[in-house]
Amino acid sequence: MAFELPALPYAKDALLPHISVETLEFHHGKHHNTYVDKLNGLVPGTEFEGKTLEEIIMAAPAGPVFNNAAQVWNHTFYWNSLSPNGGGEPTGALADAINAKWGSFDAFKAEFNDKAVNNFASSWTWLVKNADGSLEIVNTSNAGTPMTNGQTALLTVDLWEHAYYIDYRNVRPNYLGGFWALANWEFAAQNFAA
């Protein structure tokens, strides 16, 4: 069964003014779709045929199959990390966990921004839950995903240049400002509770 490009969970203009229709047309419609197409060309006739994205990510060695499967998964997760009704701060158990770890939401956000701004080249910054329930901010490069380290992703920001260059050019901190205005804390809380 072929993998398919998941539909965006909102209209292409829903993230304005923070993320443009043009960015979504390129980022989702071209980049994300290319990972899906490449994966569909790599999997048939291999031991990965019939497996889920997660099964492929956990089993595939470094290389084209892993890279494309992980990028399909990472991008789908990223689209859900954003919401036209997002922004603000988390509430409930997730807010309590963030405050317990960092002392305040502002301190968490400052550390996340620092790690994201200084995450070199094509990369991702994630809020994750470790196996012991503790929270951590982790950076991954290229197609890296916290799943392979036994961590549960709660929220992510895509730091590949195609995620922000149309709207923000080379000013990654401004893109992060847009990310926080759209951060989907409801999605993050569901992942935290899972």
Task: Pick out the residues of the known binding site.
Answer: 27, 75, 158, 162
133: left (phi over 0), alpha (psi -120 to 50) or beta: left
φ and ψ of 10, to 5 deg: -160, 170
Phi then psi dihedrals of residue 126, to 5 deg:
-125, 145
What does the alpha-carbon distance between residue 117 and residue 179 come to, in Å, rounded to a whole number?
Answer: 12
Annotated binding site for Mn(2+): which residue ranges? 27, 75, 158, 162
CB atoms within 10 A of CB 96: 11
116 vs 178: CA distance, rounded Å: 13
d(CA 103, CA 86): 22
- Which tokens go with 132? 């012991």
Helix H or strand E segment including 40: helix 33-42
Coil, helix or strand at residue 96: helix
CB 46 within 8 Å of CB 13: no
